[in-house]
Amino acid sequence: MAELVQLEVGRVARLHLDNPPLNLISEELLADLDAALATLEGSAPGDVRVAVVSAGGERAFSVGSDVKAFERHRGAAGRAHFEREEAVTSRLANLPMPTIAAIEGDALGGGLELALACDMRVVSERARLGLPEVRLAVTPGAGGTQRLPRIVGVARAKEMILAGRLLAAGEAEAIGLVNRVVPVGQALHVAHEMAGEIAKLGPLAVRAAKQLIDRALDVGIDAGLAAELEASERIFATDDMLEGARAFIEKRSPRYRGS
């Protein structure tokens, strides 16, 4: 059986869903995605600095679960599947390096939940985004009710989720759901450009900054500031810090190694 997720490892890694035309989130895709995420999770800071998440086909980034499988997930019988999907999505969210979703087609339901687990989102102007689960009398189950309000605010999240609203790309950008809207066919290209800019920077500092920002949403400001202080002390002890300072003084490009 062909793998449904491809991983290209490099300074800018590419994690590619390959289950077109809708890139449905099946058990097989979750297993492949989990294995790819494990590889990224264990990569050295200097080896993988950013990961771009993309999908095959032009129709959809992903529209989530296959509705034909819903009956198999009734009641307690579905708990293992829901736990699996939530765990894999959280693994994506918790990757140490920044992640950018390149969304060329629709990102709906579990597909949008995967995109929400990324740090940034670049979308084609033709894409639609939403969590329309209530239209099928079910609820988001892979972090949508938790991550969406953290990104767009509670009121916007309730409007989208409770009414099952689908947003056009421009509206999604206006409420802060996506970082950039780009012409059709350019989502992956622009995501790679953004990733390339980040990959030039100090990878240890970038990873620490991502962790601090994520932590800021879940702890009080005193705890967040204490974490920031600890991170500053740790990062200022690295060889990359010395390289960055010396490169600045010598007016040259830094050569960061992630150490």
113 labelled catalytic: yes
Write down the catalytic residue from 86, 133, 197, 233: 133
CA-to-CA dists, residue 24 to 108, 109, 166, 208, angstroms: 10, 10, 18, 33
**CB count in 10 Å sphere of residue 220:** 9
Tokens of 70: 């819903």
- N-terminal to C-terminal alpha carbon distance within the chain: 39
In our burial notation (b when 16+ CB lie closer than 10 A, e otherwise), range 129-155 reads bbbbbeeeeeebbbbbbebbbeebeee
CA dist 230 and 241 (Å) reads 15
Residue 153 DSSP SS3: coil
Q: CA nearest 245: which of 230, 259, 255?
A: 255
Q: In the annotation, is 133 catalytic? A: yes
Tell me which of 28, 41, 71, 113 is the catalytic residue: 113
Q: In what order do the strands lie in the sheet with 120-124?
A: 5-8, 12-17, 50-55, 99-103, 120-124, 180-182
Residue type, 174: A
Residues identified as active-site:
113, 133
